[in-house]
């Protein structure tokens, strides 16, 4: 039985290598930081900081970047498998992305046709997640503490027992503005575990790359 307090340590091994893996893959595809950032719904500065191991992305941001790089999130991060439909409170391991202080516990299982993923997320005091937008929808239910959620520039404070349901296409981020760890249930349609494999949108990506190439050519001329 895995102790509740035990965490899968990714900071030492995977954390240090995460940025390098992303940079190597991006360069192999011949993509610029701007192309990756634009298609992932993130900023150029944030992608650059990830590659230089200055900061660690949230799980959803890592998934978005991995999709743009035509990879599965499992190529960059080891996560618990959703082998059973029941998870026991004292058997769920906590894990993090790289050296991030935000931790996750997987709740949802993996079965054919499933579209809903769920996690328990613990956001430490002062932590701010990077703004991101992507396809799908998600819901947050506060289990303990408070967080500030920003949707398209509008900030809302969620307290224990509050919930929020929104389309993921809105630019969204969270911030623990308190001095205590906040815990919330997250559920959404983004494949944050990589169970569904890589499902690229080649037409959208090709068009985006062509547009960026044409723009660069115009600037060069």
Q: Give the start-to-end residue ranges of the domains of the chain.
A: 1-79, 107-188
| Fold held by 1-79 | 434 Repressor (Amino-terminal Domain) (1.10.260)
Q: How far apart are CA 20 and CA 33, in angstroms?
A: 14
Give CB contacts under 8 A, 24+ apart, made by 9-14: 10/77, 10/78, 10/95, 10/96, 10/97, 10/98, 11/96, 11/98, 11/99, 14/76, 14/77, 14/78, 14/98
Q: In what order do the strands lie in the sheet with 103-106?
A: 7-8, 94-95, 103-106, 117-123, 182-188, 137-144, 163-167
3-state secondary structure at position 48 = helix
pLDDT reported for residue 3: 43
pLDDT reported for residue 204: 41
pLDDT reported for residue 220: 45
Q: How far apart are CA 32 and CA 208, in angstroms?
A: 12
pLDDT reported for residue 113: 87
Looking at domain 107-188, its CATH class is: mainly beta
CB 145 within 8 A of CB 179: no
pLDDT reported for residue 16: 55
pLDDT reported for residue 192: 94
Per residue of the chain (221 residues), what is the pLDDT tens digit? Answer: 334 444 444 344 455 588 999 999 999 999 999 999 999 999 999 999 999 989 999 999 999 999 999 999 988 888 998 888 999 999 999 999 988 899 999 999 998 888 999 999 999 999 999 999 999 999 999 999 999 999 999 999 999 999 999 999 999 999 999 999 999 999 999 999 988 755 544 334 333 444 444 444 444 44
């Amino acid at each position: 039985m895995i102790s509740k307090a035990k965490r899968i340590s990714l900071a030492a091994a995977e954390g240090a290598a995460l940025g390098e893996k992303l940079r190597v893959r991006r360069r192999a595809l011949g993509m610029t930081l701007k192309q990756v950032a634009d298609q992932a719904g993130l900023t150029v500065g944030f992608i650059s900081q990830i590659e230089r191991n200055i900061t660690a992305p949230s799980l959803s941001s890592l998934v978005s970047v991995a999709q743009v790089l035509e990879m599965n999130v499992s190529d960059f991060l080891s996560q618990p498998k959703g082998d059973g439909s029941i998870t026991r409170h004292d058997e769920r391991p906590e894990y993090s992305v790289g050296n991030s202080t935000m931790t996750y516990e997987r709740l949802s299982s993996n079965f054919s046709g499933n579209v809903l993923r769920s996690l328990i997320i613990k956001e430490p005091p002062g932590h701010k997640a990077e703004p991101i937008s992507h396809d799908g929808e998600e819901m947050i239910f506060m289990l303990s503490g408070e967080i500030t959620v920003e949707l398209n520039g509008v900030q809302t404070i969620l307290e224990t027992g509050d919930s929020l349901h929104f389309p993921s296409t809105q630019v969204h981020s969270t911030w623990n503005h308190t001095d205590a760890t906040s815990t919330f249930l997250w559920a959404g349609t983004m494949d944050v575990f990589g169970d569904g494999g890589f499902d690229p949108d080649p037409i959208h990506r090709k068009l985006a790359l062509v547009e960026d190439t044409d723009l660069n050519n115009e600037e060069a001329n």
